[in-house]
Every structure is written in C-alpha cells, then in structure tokens.
Structure 1
Amino acid sequence: MVEIYSALIFYLLVRITIAIAAKKSGKEITDFSFKKSAENFNAFFETRLNELFRGTKSKLIGFFQRVVDATVCNCLKPPPRATA
C-alpha cells in the first residue's frame, strides 16, 4: 500500500512541477514531456536528498525552484516531425 501512495505522490509532484514550469515559461502543459519531467525530478531528488532532509523551508523552496527551472529547460517535447 505504501508503494501506491509513494507513486501517487511522485506523480502529483511531477504534474505540479510541469504546471509551474508551463506557467513560468508561457508554454502549454501539453508541451512538456511527462517522462522527461519525471526523470528530471528523480535525478534532482536522488542528488539532493540530504539537502531536503536537513534543509529549512527556504532550502526546500530553492530545491523546487531549481527543479522547475530544469524542467523548463530540459523537458519540452520535441517538435512534431514534418510529413511530406
């Protein structure tokens, strides 16, 4: 049961990150790749886990701001291929 809740929380955090990134960049939510965003969030989470556990509220906010910035830069879907 814990795994289900963990997966749901992760899914929601990625969706929230995408929504904030879309608002910040002026793009549509559908322009972002969920897979890339999840990989991006997971990479940040794995490398900054100690920072989250020992951090203050300002460090937590800074962590999520960096995740959103990285999502804006790295997680857009590629443009559709032109069909001829």
Structure 2
Amino acid sequence: MADLGLAVAFLGSAIPSLAVQFRRLHDIDRSAWWVLLNLIPLLGALVLFVFHLLPGTPGPNRFVRRRARPGLPRCSPDRPQGLRRCPGDSAREPR
C-alpha cells in the first residue's frame, strides 16, 4: 500500500514538473527535447539549470505566439467608454 502512495506522489509531482520545464524551455526558444539532458548525471541537470536561469525571448518565438484572446476588447485609444479597462492601463489614468 505504501508503494502505491509513493507512485501516486511521484506522478503527482513529476508530470507538473515536466510541464513547467517544457514551458520554460519554449519560453527561451528551445525544444522540449532538451529535458532529456536530465538522463546525463550531473552535467545534464547543470545545463538545464543554466537554461532555466536565462531570460526569455522578447516577443513571439517559434513556440509561442502571443495573441489577444477572442472576446476581449481591443486596446486602442479610440475604444468606447463602456468597455472594460485593457491590461496595462494605469489606475491613475482618467477615463
């Protein structure tokens, strides 16, 4: 019974950990296949640690296209007054 609990705990932490690593590698414009470096003892983990410390690529890259979500108002200076505030609007800015 303890083995089952250990397996559930491992899967419960390993799968989200891999997802975070994939997302971070895509943020720095690298393929998720780089996670396989973890199979190389010590050196692989060190290389991935350095990758995770690197700043992300500014703007879109080959994995992520930053698009506006459909259904949200466009952020433009001539938008109607009744629409919600756009991300990045200053709270001090008069309406």
TM over 0.5: no
Please identify the structure whose Cα radius of gyration is greater: 2
Higher helix share: 1
User: Which TM bucket (shorter chain)?
Assistant: 0.3 to 0.5
Taking structure 1 as the reference length, the TM-score comes to: 0.39
TM-score by structure 2 length?
Answer: 0.35
Structure number with the bigger relative contact order (C-alpha 8 A, sep ≥ 6) is 1
